[in-house]
Amino acid sequence: MLIAILSLTLLGAVLGLGLGLAARRFHVEGDPLVAQIEALMPGSNCGQCGFPGCPGAASAIAAGSAPVTACPPGGRALAKALAEKLGIAIDLGQVADAGPRIAAVAEEICIGCCRCIKVCPTDAIVGAAKQIHNVMREACTGCGNCVERCPTEAVTLQPVPVTLQHWVWPRPQLAGA
Amino acid sequence: MGLLERFFKPSWGVHPDDHKRPAADVPLRTLPLPERLYVPLQQHVGGPARPVVLAGQKVLKGQLLAEAQGNISAPVHAPTSGRVLAIGEVTAPHPSGLAQLAITLASDGDERWLEREPVADPFALAPEEIARLTAAAGVVGLGGATFPAAVKFNLGRRLKVSTLIVNGGECEPYLSSDDAVMRVRAAEVVDGLRIVMHAIGAANALVGIEDNKPEAIAAMRAAAAPFGDVAIRPVPARYPMGSDKQLIQVLTGKEVPADARAAEVGVLVHNVSTCAAVHRALRRGEALVERIVTVNGGAVRAPGNLLAPIGARVADLLAFAGLAAEPARLILGGPMMGTLLPHANVPLVKGASGVLAFDAREAARPAAGPCIRCGSCTVACPMGLLPLEMASRIRAGDLAGATGFGLSDCISCGCCAWVCPSHIPLVQYFSHARGELAAGERARLRNEATRRLVEQRGERLARDAREKAAAAAKRKAERDAAKAKAAAATESAAASSAAVSAKAVSP
Amino acid sequence: MSATVLSAPVAAPHAATSASVSRVMLWVMAALAPATLFGFWLYGWPAVHLWWITIAFALLGESLCLRLMRRAALPVLFDGSALLTGWLLALSLPPWAPWWIGATGGFFATVIAKQVFGGLGQNLFNPAMVARVALLISFPVQMTLWVAPVPLGSAAAPGFVDGLRITLGALPGALDAVASASVLGHAKTELSRGVDLLHSFAVSSAPTFGLDGMRAGSMGETASLLLAGGGALLLALRIISWHIPLAMLAAIALPAAILHAADPARYLDAGSHLLAGGTLLGAFFIATDYVTSPNTRAGQLLFGAGVGGLTFLIRTWGGYPEGIAFAVLLMNALVPVIDRYLRPRIHGRDRRGRALDIPDGEGS
Amino acid sequence: MTAYLLLLISTALVNNVVLVKFLGLCPFMGVSRNMDSAFGMGLATTFVITLACAATWMLEHWLLAPFGLGYLRILCFILVIAAAVQFVEMVVKHSAPALYQALGIYLPLITTNCAVLGVALLTVQEKMGFVETLVYGFGSALGFTVVMLMFAGMRERLALARVPAAFAGAPVSFVLASLLSLAFMGFAGLNFQAP
């Protein structure tokens, strides 16, 4: 009995000591996953996901408490990238994605109230009080914050037109192959 | 690379029926000048040209219509004399059928040239000057790549290229426009290529011509005979012999490293038609406003080569050559790499070496079946890729996997899809994947830009808040100071009044 | 002027080869036909009946699966792949095997080994060999009962009706009358009984064999010359390349020759290994199956050598007299690994996929 | 030397842990989606099995058997194996974070991988010598790795196939595993001794 207790104790102690030393030798700092996910996010901190900005959403996605499809501006492409990063399978069909969209100001309705300018996370709307506002297409992320704030519904999200430079060959649709 | 490579000798390429004759043997004809010409602003790789004419303006043949914009760009010139009707969108010669900006010209039928300034002795000019004149004439690669020729001259000179390779391969079936150029304008080609040699500082030139063009070889040999540094080299007819990398390997044995330019291994490739265009740009002072184009295909009644102005509609060319049947498929370029045209009302561009109108029999394609992994595509691929593996991954949506199999090295030559017994549209899979990857890259760049904008906004808001706080603090300080002053004043006033009252009282 | 707008853009190339999958299958069948006809002649009507029953059930399995998946059955059936699978399986069966062997095998081959994986081009194992191995393990007795040659027209040959009855199992005893041993089976049995090869092949009842193929064996494997001729036809038509057959035959013959020279009493000679069993059928028609073999030349050499080596291993030291089917399946399983590590060199890159160096002295 | 080589072949192929003895099926199905992680898993398991075999042999012969503590065998073995797995986990997390992420839960689960304990117990049962034990353990692990690699390769290809909906996912993988097992039956009865 005593020998059994002694040997088990000894075994435990030796293995424990070895592992303790190894843990010190092979120590790994922090979780790099959150940073990697954050790098994939749009970074506009628009808040449509319900988290306080992209870093918050990134940590929630890394922890598994938010789905990879949480980010509406990121759309299907982001969901796919995140799923690949996390090694999970998702059904991309459920992600609503009507293609990229950007905001456009209807000049005849805009009253120049400047409210949209204040909520734009990328300063993509230019204009001054009592002046018609305009959207810089390159900077707009299509987050939709301005659409909600516009008192006259002058701002709408419009699909980005396809040009020769952006046109992509469709994937062959084949019955047999 | 020794025994192993020799044992597994490359057997790339395919041998499609070339269908070049009888079109190649028909004498060159000239397209009657169409009433309207549509000159697209982008007919080259790089930035689109910027218009320098206004609607309604009269122009002469060869006059600058739009100037080059940016480092890699090329100008376009008026293909005939007449009046600018409009600067607007026309259907691009592109499978998508999307529109592109073009200058519409109404010809006056006079064909009056702008004052031309020929160079008597181009070899007396500095290489930089040749490049400048070539660029000003709007010369781009006429083999189909449409890369601005002068940019390549400068690159070749900078990288000290020793050998100029002149591409007379024309391995695409049906096409014979380069063949026609070599037969009809052999002297111009040879003179042009010698000017290019001077411009890039090359010591010798090799002209690779597929051995199925004996007339062109003979004409070129005769034209090149006086020049010891120009060698005419017949190469076996095998598609894609006219591809830069393959032609370089066959002629010089050099292999261009992936992601590198040919100039980095000491060679530069120019097409025979490009050389002829360089000759005209310098010796005659003529801008690139016309080209020789093959009109061929089963639906064409009189196939052959036409000298046609840039901007003529494909419909004009087909109407001149005559249609034997309703075309079932219209192609700009060759059947292996050419682009499908949405309809015939698209303009002829500088890079268009052929217009093919296929009849129903030629256009018929068996339905695609499943891949049986026969490996024909891997044997045919001139780049040593595994098309079947790439396509199966792209079909499953695994673009990264396809990239891992060398998607970026694919030259879209079409050998794999041609040879596939299951008729799988492999090239379309690859084009699709590349488009998606490019779109992803654009999205990534956009993401980064957004991030920067957000940071800038954050900084701006912080600065605003700081400034506001500073201003508020300042105002507060001022107010306090004023208040203190006032308080002090009242106090002193009170004190004085007290004093006064005290005084008043005291006595 | 026509202004037809196409609904969906089609990418280049706008030309294609005249080759097609069904044409490839037809040529393979044409190459198989002489050896098959010889088998029919050699083993009589039971062999014919087993042949068509196997093919019929292979086609039945295929069409049933396609029906269940609601895919159009006819174009797939006409590509000839299921027919070829059934055909190859039938050729690898004992010629007088009962009908349900062929039926189960044909069905198993197309359903379990092929359609479950997604049909043509997606199966990972050679369907015919999967079926053969499954049959061998499930019905070892029926799968190792060989008959001595009873050529059509000879006295011992059963007629059309008797042949059908034999195949349907209604003539018990008919088989015993002509039962014989295959060369490999005889060698293995005698060796396990402690009789060495020098003695076991010296007795008069031992199976004899030469190039004429007049011996006991599977339906289509004995006609060595006709099989080699068929293989040569496929090689000439460039339907198959020489890499797999050559590597496989060499990998069987070389160790056999070496070991036979060292100890002729224990090891069969190279000639027997090459001619006996399914070596030639396997080398030209089974191992060369496009779907289940590597897609690079180097990989094909390795694959062929693997099939040959494993065949020799199983034949010589294993528990089964014949190892082609097992060897093919084992190497099929390795194909994805081979394909991954033996890739062709990309133009402008080295074997590991890195861009070639820009040579010194050229350019800047 | 020849005997050890034959033992290696026998344990790796003829008596393959996964396909013949049906041990270690959990990682076999779980981490065989791609070849890299399958190979990593194979290496990790190889390391653990070989180490565990050596350690358990010493434990058995120097501690358990001399003191008659046979009843503590499983307990002690698991303790050793768990420690070895913990160690491997640390090393993998430190040196190959991507592999660590790919292996996920299956890495700590090597502890309960029946192949590891099974092989260790078998070596005791067969009363093998130390070197024999090592070869046996290494051979088993080698067989495990080879089969993992084969299976992962085939599953990678399967992921690109149009598998019928009824079989997509796990079912077709099990069919595949059974066919692979069928192929491995070819090694049955492999005997290099003179008959």
Q: Is D151:C335 a contact under the CB 8 Å cutoff?
A: no
Q: Which residues of A touch D94 (CB under 8 A)?
A: 26-28
Nearest to A72 by CA among A102, A42, A39, A52: A42
Task: Flag whether residue B375 sits within 8 Å of chain C, measured between CB atoms.
Answer: yes
Tell me, what's the pLDDT at C282?
Answer: 95
Whether C344 sits inside 8 A of B385 (CB atoms) is yes
Class of residue D193 by CB neighbours under 10 A (exposed 0-12, middle 13-18, buried 19+): exposed
Whether D97 sits inside 8 A of A23 (CB atoms) is no
Q: Which residues of D touch A11 (CB under 8 A)?
A: 59, 76, 79-80
Half-sphere exposure for C71 (CA within 13 Å, toward CB): 22
Whether A169 sits inside 8 A of C11 (CB atoms) is yes
Would you tell me which residues 428-487 of chain B have a C-beta closer than 8 angstroms to some C-beta of chain A? 428-429, 431-432, 435-436, 438-440, 442-443, 446-447, 449-451, 453-454, 456-457, 460
Give the distance from residue B123's alpha carbon to the nearest chain C alpha carbon, in angstroms: 23
D128-161: buried (b, 16+ CB within 10 Å) or exposed (e) per residue? beeebbbbbbbbbbbbbbbbbbbbbbbbbbbebb
Q: Where exactly are the structural domains of chain D? A: 12-185
CATH number, domain B117-285, options 3.90.850.10, 3.40.50.11540, 3.30.450.20, 3.20.20.140: 3.40.50.11540
Q: Which residues of A touch B399 (CB under 8 A)?
A: none
Q: Which residues of A touch D59 (CB under 8 A)?
A: 11
Nearest to B77 by CA among B272, B269, B275, B280: B280
Q: What is the mean pLDDT of residues C268-288?
A: 91
For residue B371, the chain A residue with the least C-alpha distance is: A177
How many Cβ atoms are within 10 Å of B24's Cβ, its own excluded? 25
Task: Flag whether residue A169 sits within 8 Å of chain B, measured between CB atoms.
Answer: yes
Tens-place pLDDT, residues B52-88: 999 999 999 999 999 999 889 999 999 999 999 999 9
Residue with tokens 């996929």: C353
Whether A169 sits inside 8 A of C8 (CB atoms) is no
Checking if the pLDDT of C364 tops 50, the result is no
Whether C333 sits inside 8 A of D154 (CB atoms) is yes
Give the distance from residue D162's alpha carbon to the nearest chain B alpha carbon, in angstroms: 9
Q: Which residues of D touch C327 (CB under 8 A)?
A: 186
CATH number, domain A101-159, options 3.40.190.10, 3.90.76.10, 3.40.50.720, 3.30.70.20: 3.30.70.20
Q: Which residues of D touch C116 (CB under 8 A)?
A: 163-164, 167, 172, 175
Task: Flag whether residue A91 sits within 8 Å of chain B, measured between CB atoms.
Answer: no
Checking if the pLDDT of B439 tops 90, the result is no
Give residue B5's pLDDT band: very low, low, confident or very high (50, 70, 90).
very low
Give the distance from residue D143's alpha carbon to the nearest chain A alpha carbon, in angstroms: 27
Task: Flag whether residue C7 sits within 8 Å of chain B, measured between CB atoms.
Answer: no
Tell me, what's the pLDDT at D95?
Answer: 83
Give residue C164's pLDDT band: very low, low, confident or very high (50, 70, 90).
confident
Nearest to B291 by CA among B30, B38, B116, B44: B30
Whether B365 sits inside 8 A of C16 (CB atoms) is yes
Q: Is B246:B213 a contact under the CB 8 Å cutoff?
A: no
Q: Is B218:B193 a contact under the CB 8 Å cutoff?
A: no
Nearest to B31 by CA among B297, B324, B347, B293: B293
Task: Flag whether residue C8 sits within 8 Å of chain A, measured between CB atoms.
Answer: yes
Q: Is B336:B240 a contact under the CB 8 Å cutoff?
A: yes
Subunits with 3+ Cβ pairs within 8 Å of A are B, C, D
Q: Is C8 helix (H, G, I), strand (E, B) or coil?
A: coil
For residue B372, the chain D residue with the least C-alpha distance is: D161
Q: Is B172:B336 a contact under the CB 8 Å cutoff?
A: yes
Q: What is the mean pLDDT of residues A145-152?
A: 86
More confident residue, C96 or C201: C96
Averaged confidence pLDDT in chain B:
90
Give residue B30's pLDDT band: very low, low, confident or very high (50, 70, 90).
very high
Strands, E, within C163-274: which ranges?
A: 179-180
Percent of the residues in chain D that have a pLDDT greater than 70, as a whole number:
98
Tell me, what's the pLDDT at C188?
Answer: 84
Checking if the pLDDT of B198 tops 90, the result is yes
Tens-place pLDDT, residues B234-273: 999 888 998 999 999 999 988 999 888 888 899 999 999 9
Q: What is the mean pLDDT of residues D13-24?
A: 88
Instruction: For chain D, report the end-to-end CA distance as a whole number of angstroms.
Output: 21
Give the distance from residue C52's alpha carbon to the nearest chain D alpha carbon, in angstroms: 26
Give the distance from residue B392's alpha carbon to the nearest chain D alpha carbon, in angstroms: 6
Q: Between B and C, how many CB-CB pairs are < 8 A?
A: 195
Nearest to B277 by CA among B89, B93, B43: B43
| Helices B272-279 and B149-158, axial angle in degrees (round to 10) | 100
Q: Is B119:B285 a contact under the CB 8 Å cutoff?
A: yes
Whether A170 sits inside 8 A of C11 (CB atoms) is no
Residue type, B451: R
Whether A122 sits inside 8 A of B454 (CB atoms) is yes
Q: Is D10:D139 a contact under the CB 8 Å cutoff?
A: yes
Which of D158, D175, D195 faces C112 most closely, judged by CB atoms? D175
pTM beyond 0.80: yes
Which of B245, B336, B367 faces C347 most closely, judged by CB atoms? B245
More confident residue, A139 or B357: B357
Q: Is B237 helix (H, G, I), strand (E, B) or coil?
A: coil
Give residue B215's pLDDT band: very low, low, confident or very high (50, 70, 90).
very high
Tell me the C-alpha distance between A71 and A51, whole Å. Answer: 10
Averaged confidence pLDDT in chain D:
87
Subunits with 3+ Cβ pairs within 8 Å of D are A, B, C
More confident residue, B1 or B491: B491
Give the distance from residue C156's alpha carbon to the nearest chain B alpha carbon, in angstroms: 44
Give residue C133's pLDDT band: very low, low, confident or very high (50, 70, 90).
very high
Averaged confidence pLDDT in chain C:
88
Tell me the C-alpha distance between D141 and D8, whole Å. Answer: 10
What backbone torsions phi and psi does residue B101 show, to the nearest 5 degrees?
A: -75, 140
Task: Flag whether residue A77 sits within 8 Å of chain B, measured between CB atoms.
Answer: yes
The DSSP line for C115-166 is GGGTSTTT-SS-HHHHHHHHHHHH-TTGGG-EE----TTSTT---HHHHHHH
Give the distance from residue C152's alpha carbon to the nearest chain B alpha carbon, in angstroms: 38
Checking if the pLDDT of A100 tops 80, the result is no
- Which residues contact residue C361 at a Cβ distance below 8 angstroms, ignoring those fewer than 6 apart? none
Whether D175 sits inside 8 A of C122 (CB atoms) is no
Nearest to B208 by CA among B262, B260, B244: B244
Tell me, what's the pLDDT at D193?
Answer: 66
How many Cβ atoms are within 10 Å of C345's Cβ, its own excluded? 20
Give residue C6's pLDDT band: very low, low, confident or very high (50, 70, 90).
very low
Residue with tokens 């309207």: B36
Q: Is D84:D183 a contact under the CB 8 Å cutoff?
A: no
Give the distance from residue D63's alpha carbon to the nearest chain C alpha carbon, in angstroms: 41
Checking if the pLDDT of C2 tops 70, the result is no
For residue D63, the chain A residue with the least C-alpha distance is: A7
Tell me the C-alpha distance between B86 and B57, whole Å. Answer: 10
Give residue A26's pLDDT band: very low, low, confident or very high (50, 70, 90).
confident
Subunits with 3+ Cβ pairs within 8 Å of B are A, C, D
Q: Where exactly are the structural domains of chain A? A: 32-94, 101-159
D78-117: buried (b, 16+ CB within 10 Å) or exposed (e) per residue? bbbbbbbbbbbbbbbbeebeebbbbbeebbeebbebebbb
Would you tell me which residues 56-75 of chain C have a C-beta closer than 8 angstroms to some C-beta of chain B? 75
Q: Which residues of A touch C8 (CB under 8 A)?
A: 170, 173
Checking if the pLDDT of D83 tops 70, the result is yes
Whether B389 sits inside 8 A of C295 (CB atoms) is yes
Give the distance from residue A13's alpha carbon to the nearest chain B alpha carbon, in angstroms: 47
For residue A123, the chain B residue with the least C-alpha distance is: B457
More confident residue, B212 or D112: B212
Checking if the pLDDT of D153 tops 90, the result is yes
Give the distance from residue D145's alpha carbon to the nearest chain B alpha carbon, in angstroms: 23
Tell me the C-alpha distance between C245 and C278, whole Å. Answer: 13
Q: Where exactly are the structural domains of chain C? A: 22-341
Task: Flag whether residue A173 sits within 8 Å of chain C, measured between CB atoms.
Answer: yes
More confident residue, A73 or D65: D65
Whether B370 sits inside 8 A of C122 (CB atoms) is yes
Give the distance from residue A142's alpha carbon to the nearest chain B alpha carbon, in angstroms: 11
Nearest to D59 by CA among D39, D79, D45, D30: D79
Tell me, what's the pLDDT at C87?
Answer: 96
Tens-place pLDDT, residues B275-329: 999 999 999 999 999 999 999 999 999 999 999 999 999 999 999 999 998 999 9
Residue type, C7: S
Tell me, what's the pLDDT at B497?
Answer: 59
Q: Which residues of B touch D162 (CB under 8 A)?
A: 370
Percent of the residues in chain B that have a pLDDT greater than 70, as a whole number:
95
Tens-place pLDDT, residues B99-156: 999 999 999 988 999 998 899 899 999 999 999 999 999 999 998 889 999 999 999 9
The DSSP line for chain A is -HHHHHHHHHHHHHHHHHHHHHHHHT---S-HHHHHHHHHS------TTSSSHHHHHHHHHHHTSS-TT--TTTHHHHHHHHHHHHT----GGGS-----EEEEE-TTT-----HHHHH-TT--EE--TTS--EE-TTT-----HHHHH-TTS-EEEEEPPP-TTT--PPPP--S--
Tell me, what's the pLDDT at D22?
Answer: 86
Tell me, what's the pLDDT at C101?
Answer: 95
Whether C8 sits inside 8 A of A176 (CB atoms) is no
Whether D163 sits inside 8 A of C326 (CB atoms) is no
Fold of A32-94: 3-methyladenine DNA Glycosylase II; Chain A, domain 3 (1.10.15)
Q: Between C and D, how many CB-CB pairs are < 8 A?
A: 107
Q: Which residues of B touch C355 (CB under 8 A)?
A: 257-260
Q: Between A and D, how many CB-CB pairs are < 8 A?
A: 47
